[in-house]
């Protein structure tokens, strides 16, 4: 089994509903996201997936939420923008694009969101 990993950062505002504590008030984080792909077969160039392509897949997802208030954007108008839910959001958005791009050869293994340097949430299936 092969894995490739790409990380990227974004800065967004959020607040948590149905939550008592510091995060119930609007504030921002410098988030980091890590997407890990996995697969058993490499392409003709010996790559699971070109890092450049994975970055291209992640770019529109990041551009949509960077320097935005997450609570104002679907699906976070309803779903709480917790690190857990943001991790699943990246997982779902990048999975969709990747499936078409690699005809199922490569899948997303997991997606991790750093809300701070010492706190992460990971989504996988």
Question: Which residues make up the interface to Zn ion (CB under 5 A)?
Answer: 23
Burial 80-93 (b: 16+ CB within 10 A, else e): bbbbebbbbbbbeb
Q: What minimum distance in Å lies between the beta carbon of 93 and Zn ion?
A: 21
User: What CA–CA distance (Å, rounded) separates 125 from 123?
Assistant: 7
Nearest approach in angstroms of CB 27 to Zn ion is: 6
Query: In the bound complex, what is the minimum distance in angstroms from residue 1's beta carbon to Zn ion?
Result: 34
Q: Tell me the residue number closest to Zn ion, measured at CB.
A: 23
Closest to Zn ion by CB, 23 or 121: 23
Instruction: Report the C-alpha gap between 98 and 104 in whole angstroms.
Output: 8
23 or 69, CB closer to Zn ion? Answer: 23
- Beta carbon of residue 21, minimum distance to Zn ion (angstroms, whole number): 10
Distances (CA, A) of 33 to 9, 86, 112: 6, 9, 6
CB closer to Zn ion, 23 vs 38: 23
């Amino acid at each position: 089994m092969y894995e490739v990993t790409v990380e990227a950062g974004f800065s967004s505002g959020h607040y948590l509903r149905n939550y008592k504590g510091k995060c119930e008030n609007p504030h921002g984080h410098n988030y980091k996201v890590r997407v890990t792909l996995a697969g058993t077969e490499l392409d003709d160039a010996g790559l699971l997936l070109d890092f450049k392509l994975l970055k291209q897949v992640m770019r529109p997802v990041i551009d949509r939420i960077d320097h935005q208030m997450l609570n104002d954007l679907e699906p976070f108008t309803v779903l709480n923008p917790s690190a857990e839910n943001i991790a699943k959001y990246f997982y779902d958005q990048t999975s969709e694009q990747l499936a078409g791009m690699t005809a199922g050869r490569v899948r997303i293994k997991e997606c991790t969101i750093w809300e701070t340097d010492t706190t992460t949430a990971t989504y996988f299936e």
